[in-house]
Structure 1
Amino acid sequence: MSIDAKLAELDITLPKTPSAIGNYIGGVVTGNLLFMSGVGPRKPDGGAVTGKVGADLTTEEAYDAARLVGLNMLANMKSVIGDLDRVTKIVKVLGMVNAVPDFKEHPKVINGYSDLMVEVFGDKAGKAARSAVGMGSLPNQIAVEIEMIVEITD
């Protein structure tokens, strides 16, 4: 089944590709690897999910924000490589959570992203090596930012 068909089956419509907020591009292909820039939880209205997890947002709300990051990342990936069927393996994910200092559930937050990648690409291609870390702040106080490395075919 194609990834576009899988997205339709999951009733997922990818958002518009978000614009970069700095002097960088969404992703770089070198050899058979795609290095994706960090992406935040942009909402369909152009706003973003903001705030500190553990103070302004619950773990569950941050999980949803991380899933939203995943939708934005899929849109970015498609704009960079043209076809999500080129993805053979999500290799590495770095999930950054804008959290209060004593927050302890970073992995549960980033599961929102990882769960979506497994839904879309399956266990074999979608499950990756991963880090889930806390940050003192993120750009524009977004709740979550995630970057990743992906193996692709020609």
Structure 2
Amino acid sequence: MNPEEKLNALGIELPQPYQPLGNYVRYVKTGNLIHIGGHGPCDDEVKGKVGRDVSMEEAYLEARKTAISLLATLKEAIGDLSKVKRIVKVHGMVNAEDTFDNHPKVINGCSDLLVEVFGEKGIHTRAAVGMSSLPGNIAVEIEMIVEI
């Protein structure tokens, strides 16, 4: 199955990409790389700090929804997700309470979905870090670099 068929099989419909709220663009294509700026979940139902207001399990699902948001922008950038040669890097940021230290487990929500959709091409390098806050008090924000 190609990536879009895999999304359909998972019951995932890509949302309309968000519109930037400032003087920036959602992605930049340079050579054979697509740099996708920070995205939050495709909805903003869950707010707050992970480890206090948001459980790790909820945050994992927020990271998964953020991957869906990233894929919507990627599809807009390249037209067909079958053009993906490799997910190169994911940089995940978690709005976390000071004592929370399971950032990688949260960002696994994004990484797991990328591997489900792209298989071997979805395996990537990654950073998973905690932040004192994120825009709109969202629990997770993620950036991604993709080779096409």
Question: TM-score, structure 1 length as denominator?
Answer: 0.92
Residue 138 of structure 1, CA deviation? 0.7
Structure 1 counterpart of 2:18:
18
Structure 1 counterpart of 2:33:
33
Any unmatched runs of 5+ in structure 2?
Answer: none
Note the aligned Cα RMSD (angstroms): 1.0
SS at match of 2:130: strand
After the TM superposition, which segments of 4 or more aligned residues of structure 1 sit over 3 Å from their partners?
A: none
Pairs within 5 Å for 1:3-152: 3-43=3-43, 47-122=44-119, 124-152=120-148
Give 1:114's aligned amino acid.
Answer: S
Check conservation: 2:26, 2:37, Cα contact below 8 A: yes
Give 1:38's aligned amino acid.
Answer: G
Residue 12 of structure 1, CA deviation? 1.3
Question: Equivalents in 1 of 2:96, 2:106: separation in Å?
Answer: 10
Check conservation: 1:15, 1:75, Cα contact below 8 A: yes
Check conservation: 2:51, 2:97, Cα contact below 8 A: yes
Question: Equivalents in 2 of 1:71, 1:21: separation in Å?
Answer: 19
Question: Equivalents in 2 of 1:52, 1:22: separation in Å?
Answer: 24
Check conservation: 1:90, 1:127, Cα contact below 8 A: yes
After superposition, give the CA deviation of every residue in 1:34-67 in whole Å (9 maximum; x if it has no partner): 1001000131xxx343210001001000000000
Question: Equivalents in 1 of 2:122, 2:40: separation in Å?
Answer: 19
Question: Equivalents in 2 of 1:87, 1:42: separation in Å?
Answer: 21
Which deviates further from its counterpart, 6-15 or 128-137?
Answer: 6-15
Any unmatched runs of 5+ in structure 1?
Answer: none
Check conservation: 1:40, 1:69, Cα contact below 8 A: yes
Question: Equivalents in 1 of 2:64, 2:21: separation in Å?
Answer: 20
